[in-house]
Amino acid sequence: MPVIIWKKLPTVLLADELLDKAYRRATKAKDSVEDTDRLFRTRKQMIRMIQSASDVLDATLKGYVAKWPSLNKQSEFDRSLIDASVGCDAFRHHLSNLQWAANQTMSLAKKYEQQIQRMMNIDGMHVRRREAYGRISSVIDQVNPSLLWLNRARDQLRELPSINTSEPCIVVAGSPNVGKSALIGVLSSNEPEVAAYPFTTKQLHVGHFEHRRRVYQMVDTPGLLDRPMEDRNNIEMQAIVALENIGSIVLFLLDPAEHGGTSMESQENLLTEVAALLPQTPLIVVDGKADLLKIDTGVNPVSGHLCISATEGYGIEQLREELVARIAADDIGDPLLLPEGWHRSDL
């Protein structure tokens, strides 16, 4: 599935701006018409103005439709993001309005061009061109609420994270203040992206690291997988279901030192809930804050879990290797074939 680069969504012009752009282009097109016969020249000018204006409006409106993501081509996770942010039904409705306006504009242009083509009266040609402009302007004015909605929606959608569903994705879960964001930061090759998260009032951290030219994504889940079931609303449950589609593995981070303020009993209860919520996704449990536990063996002798410290960098490389091994994205079944999604440079 294509990756949505939310930040590349185009600015949407409003009705007045669109019409101004179209009619300015039409005036320039008229000035380029040459014919020594006044009647033929006027006819060509009026037709050229209507054609030019309608072409600009058609191309601009359909360009918006093409550049905005098609919901049918997105992952369930991305559709959930759109639904929580601006609503999928509204998204479809307003884009379809733009498609309708583009078609109507071209239909009206063709109608008036045919009328002018048969006319022998210069004043009548000007009247028909003004009628065409009026009818076209009315169509564009009708969809101005949709243009306005898309402009506002763009501002919201540009803040969403971009998740590539064809690459491995590590869903980082755990109780609040156990160090999830710090872990993502230290595992990431670059500064993690901080994005809006429409399911909760908190922000989403997305990090990446590379192993053998493959990109591994890490996503934390604020407000989704860090609190009990009874505290989650319907839209959050929808997001959790969607996580099943992007998660290659769930990394559940525990804080045995209880430094974050959540008891181990509560953390273990949450772990049980998360395992039940994402039954098809492999789960790895890691003990964090090894520096506070005074553990330096790599494994917590009490729990048997891999033990790491994001602040000290302890156990991070071992965890990275464990994640890559458990996800097994590069396992080769047929030695003559590259793994699916494998990156290679053209020679």
- Is the pLDDT score of 26 beyond 90? yes
Indicate the CATH number of 169-327 among 3.40.50.300, 3.40.50.12780, 3.30.2350.10, 3.30.428.10. 3.40.50.300
The mean pLDDT value for 184-189 works out to 88
Whole-structure pTM value: 0.73
Break the chain into its structural domains and give their ranges.
Answer: 6-157, 169-327
DSSP string, 271-330: HHHHHHHSTTS-EEEEE--HHHHT--SSB-TTT--EE-BTTTTBTHHHHHHHHHHHH-TT
Query: Would 6-157 and 169-327 be classified into the same CATH topology?
Result: no
Q: Which fold has domain 6-157?
A: Four Helix Bundle (Hemerythrin (Met), subunit A) (1.20.120)
Binned at pLDDT 50, 70 and 90, residue 247 comes out as: confident
Q: Which residue has the higher pLDDT, 6 or 195?
A: 6
The mean pLDDT value for 49-54 works out to 95
Q: What is the pLDDT of residue 276?
A: 86
Assess contact for 52 and 31: CB atoms under 8 A.
no
Q: Which residue has the higher pLDDT, 184 or 299?
A: 184
CB atoms inside a 10 Å sphere around CB 216:
23
Q: Which residue has the higher pLDDT, 227 or 189?
A: 189
The mean pLDDT value for 77-92 works out to 85
- Is the pLDDT score of 297 beyond 80? no
Which of 153, 152, 1, 159 has the alpha carbon at shortest distance from 88? 153
Q: Furthest-apart CA pair in the chain: how many Å?
A: 97
Q: In which region does residue 246 sit, left (phi positive, over 0), alpha (psi from -120 to 50) or beta (all else)?
A: alpha
Q: H-type helices in the chain, by residue range? A: 15-31, 38-67, 76-85, 88-117, 122-142, 144-157, 180-187, 234-246, 264-277, 290-293, 316-327
Q: What is the pLDDT of residue 28?
A: 92
* Contacts with 240 (C-beta within 8 Å, 6 or more apart), sequence order: 224, 225, 232, 277, 278
Tokens read off for 102 = 């583009």
Assess contact for 256 and 287: CB atoms under 8 A.
yes
Q: Which residue has the higher pLDDT, 41 or 2?
A: 41
- Is the pLDDT score of 18 beyond 80? yes
- The Cα–Cα gap between 184 and 162 comes to 16
- The Cα–Cα gap between 138 and 101 comes to 10
The average confidence (pLDDT) of the chain is 84
Burial 129-140 (b: 16+ CB within 10 A, else e): beebbebbbebb
Best-predicted range by mean pLDDT (24-33, 127-136, 254-263):
127-136
- The Cα–Cα gap between 225 and 236 comes to 9
Binned at pLDDT 50, 70 and 90, residue 111 comes out as: very high
- The Cα–Cα gap between 1 and 339 comes to 17
Give the length of the chain: 347
- Is the pLDDT score of 64 beyond 80? yes
